[in-house]
Amino acid sequence: MSKLKSLTIDKRDNVKGLHTYCSKCKCLTTARVCGKTKKRISSCKFPQFHKFKVIKAIPGSGSKKKRTKILATRDINEAIKQKIIFENELEVNQYQATPILVVEEEEKIMPMLLIDCMAYYIGYLNNEGAELHQIKERSKGHIDEVERAFRYFCKSLKRNKVDHTILEIDSLNDKMVGMYHDYLLNIRKLANATYNKYIATIRQFIMWLVDKKDYRIKNPFKSVIRKVQATNNEIIYQDEFESLLKVIKPENGLKKFPSGTTKDLYRYWLKNAFKLALETGLRREEFMTLKFSNIIEKDELPRYIRVENFKVNRAKDIKAEKSKQYKLIPVTKGLREMFEDLNYSENRNTELYIIAPEAKVMRKTLMDKASKAFTHFWAITGIDKEIQLKNLRKTYLTALANHFGDSANLISDHANMAVLKKHYINNEKMVDKASDFSVFEMS
């Protein structure tokens, strides 16, 4: 049995509008050169994917709109006949689309180099070329993390003398996954949770190429075993929180970084920001974007805070105001006292931010300042405990579960108690609650 050869068109058989095409690379192979590798088509290892393709520009469209048809035959004479028949059908139907016709704005060549595919994916995340119904809001932080994962992967290849600039996406293998694994753990020295995130980013990128863009490639990242993540459900107690507030002073704000630079991390609004975080259990973006208009009154007293559930709305791509999900946070005694200190009676129902209303910088900038400042001032307390800004949320949710039991998730707006217990509730505190429990209390 003779070996199948690459499909080409001899000069004497050259007919306008008839081309050779590779259905694997999704590109034309005209002039006997692969549109992907730019190498001679005779060196292609997949001649079985080569087809004849007819491309006919629609008159009056300036060659921007085309009708195309991929032919089943590999015989040049038969291909020429089918081309003529196809073009006649187009004229009879006035170039209207039928089930066998495909509209192409322009011939699209799917990238195959790793770095081009990465750029392709970043463009997708930024909604480049997306139709209105396909546009999805993604944070700059998320896209920055994807780009960082790509940089780390390319660096891991470069360290092992693999030229990532000419590496094709279908050449990825387990050995390269091992290079990335080693780079993340032994060079970057990432924690397990961060390692898992960067592995997942590359895995999702390749899955997108396979599932959404029909790339016929394997995903070697599917076999990577996730690292066990230690959940930090530490909470902060009242005396510890008061110690934190005491050290938040202008004179304690200076922090010297390893680079040698010194920054002043003190802001007058920090105490109120941390109180708001503790008394609401909200995520950083949620409590830093609260406005006085979010406070709902009852009997002329603030009773609830109506908060948009950013996480759910973004995950479900909900943009219409009437469809967005909100959660109600009860206003505690501590919150009412803080609101009064912030001139609630004058600012009620206004669009002023509760925290740093006069700030001219973006809220994202203030969020980052709050996180860094919390870590800095917590270190000054000298309390030997691993606490970050997000642990204030865990403290609130633990107290909520302590008080309301299995109904706590109805207030916290979590799907069920299992999520709370796994990620937020401090088990030690819950065990303390049972210290006066008696097995024979029903006797």
Q: What's the CATH code of the domain at 400?
A: 1.10.443.10
Determine the pLDDT at residue 412.
44
Q: Are residues 283 and 391 both part of a single domain? A: yes
Residue 443 is assigned to a structural domain of this protein: no
Q: Are residues 324 and 376 both part of a single domain? A: yes
pLDDT at 435 over 50: no
Q: Are residues 342 and 418 both part of a single domain? A: yes
Q: DSSP letter string over 169-234?
A: GGG--HHHHHHHHHIIIIIS---HHHHHHHHHHHHHHHHHHHHTT------GGGGPPPPPPPP---
pLDDT at 188 over 90: yes
Determine the pLDDT at residue 406.
52
Q: Are residues 130 and 210 both part of a single domain? A: yes
Determine the pLDDT at residue 421.
46
Residue 262 is assigned to a structural domain of this protein: yes
pLDDT digits (tens, 9 = 90+) for 393-429: 888 888 877 766 554 444 444 444 444 444 444 444 4
pLDDT at 309 over 80: yes
CB atoms within 10 A of CB 244: 22
Determine the pLDDT at residue 1.
33
At 301, is the pLDDT very low, low, confident or very high (cuts 50, 70, 90)? confident
Q: How do beta strands 301-308 and 326-330 pair?
A: antiparallel
Alpha-carbon gap, residue 203 to 120, rounded angstroms: 15
Range among 20-34, 202-216, 296-310 with highest mean pLDDT value: 202-216
Name the residue with higher pLDDT: 167 or 107: 167
Alpha-carbon gap, residue 342 to 332, rounded angstroms: 15
Q: Are residues 219 and 82 both part of a single domain? A: no
Determine the pLDDT at residue 98.
53
Residue 441 is assigned to a structural domain of this protein: no
Alpha-carbon gap, residue 376 to 265, rounded angstroms: 8
- On whether the CB atoms of residues 42 and 32 are closer than 8 A, the answer is yes
**Of the candidates 61, 86, 104, which is a domain's last residue?**
104
340: containing domain: 238-435
In percent, the amount of the chain with pLDDT more than 70 equals 84
Residue 228 is assigned to a structural domain of this protein: no
Q: Which residues face 22 on adjacent strands?
A: 27, 50
**Of the candidates 104, 126, 155, which is a domain's last residue?**
104
Q: DSSP letter string over 90-158?
A: HHHTTT---TT-EEESS------BHHHHHHHHHHHHTTTT--GGG-----HHHHHHHHHHHHHHHHHHH
In percent, the amount of the chain with pLDDT more than 90 equals 44
**Of the candidates 70, 104, 138, which is a domain's last residue?**
104
Domain count, the chain: 3
Query: What's the rounded mean pLDDT across residues 246-265?
Result: 92
Which whole-number Å values give the CA distances from 188 to 155, 180, 250, in the listed order? 11, 10, 34
pLDDT digits (tens, 9 = 90+) for 338-359: 999 999 999 999 999 999 999 9
Q: Are residues 352 and 402 both part of a single domain? A: yes
pLDDT at 162 over 90: yes
E strand or H helix at 69:
strand 66-71
Determine the pLDDT at residue 86.
87
- On whether the CB atoms of residues 377 and 389 are closer than 8 A, the answer is no
Q: Output the average pLDDT for the chain.
A: 83
Alpha-carbon gap, residue 111 to 126, rounded angstroms: 18
pLDDT at 443 over 60: no
Alpha-carbon gap, residue 168 to 15, rounded angstroms: 33
Left (φ > 0), alpha (ψ -120 to 50) or beta: where does 299 sit?
left
Residue 6 is assigned to a structural domain of this protein: no
pLDDT digits (tens, 9 = 90+) for 67-110: 888 888 888 888 889 889 888 888 887 766 554 444 444 445 57
Q: Are residues 156 and 44 both part of a single domain? A: no
At 288, is the pLDDT very low, low, confident or very high (cuts 50, 70, 90)? very high
- How would you write 361-422 as a 3-class SS string? CCHHHHHHHHHHHHHHHHHHHCCCCCCCCCHHHHHHHHHHHHHHHHHHHHHHCCCCHHHHHH
Alpha-carbon gap, residue 82 to 20, rounded angstroms: 14
pLDDT at 317 over 80: no
Determine the pLDDT at residue 230.
65
Determine the pLDDT at residue 3.
56
